[in-house]
């Protein structure tokens, strides 16, 4: 019962964190830090976001199946 809520929250976190990391990496910096080359591992970021989207779909399916079971209809 609690699995679908945990899966929903974790999938949203898996989608949001890589996007936030890309935002922080591409944010302009001032001073001695400067804007050096910032290679982004796009494969890793893309795979994490795709996993998050897949888990989001799985949690939606679990919500739909759970609501059908409570009403007594199949």
pLDDT digits (tens, 9 = 90+) for 1-49: 788 899 999 999 999 998 898 888 777 777 776 666 666 677 888 888 9
Residue 60: inside a domain: yes
pLDDT beyond 70 at 74:
no
Instruction: Identify the domain containing residue 61 by its residue range.
Output: 41-67
- Residue 74 to residue 63: CA distance in whole angstroms: 14
Domain count, the chain: 1
- Residue 63 to residue 48: CA distance in whole angstroms: 23
- Residue 33 to residue 74: CA distance in whole angstroms: 60
Residue 46: inside a domain: yes
Whose CA is closest to 13, among 48, 65, 40, 61?
48
Global model pTM greater than 0.85: no
Q: How many CB atoms lie within 10 A of CB 16?
A: 12
Residue 27: inside a domain: no
User: For 72, which DSSP code?
Assistant: T
């Amino acid at each position: 019962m609690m699995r679908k809520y945990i899966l929903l929250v974790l999938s949203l976190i898996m989608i949001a964190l890589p996007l936030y990391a890309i935002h922080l990496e591409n944010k302009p910096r001032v001073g001695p830090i400067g804007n050096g080359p910032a290679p982004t591992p796009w494969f890793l970021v893309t795979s994490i976001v795709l996993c998050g989207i897949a888990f989001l779909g799985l949690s939606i399916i679990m919500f739909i199946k759970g609501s059908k079971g409570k009403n007594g209809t199949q």
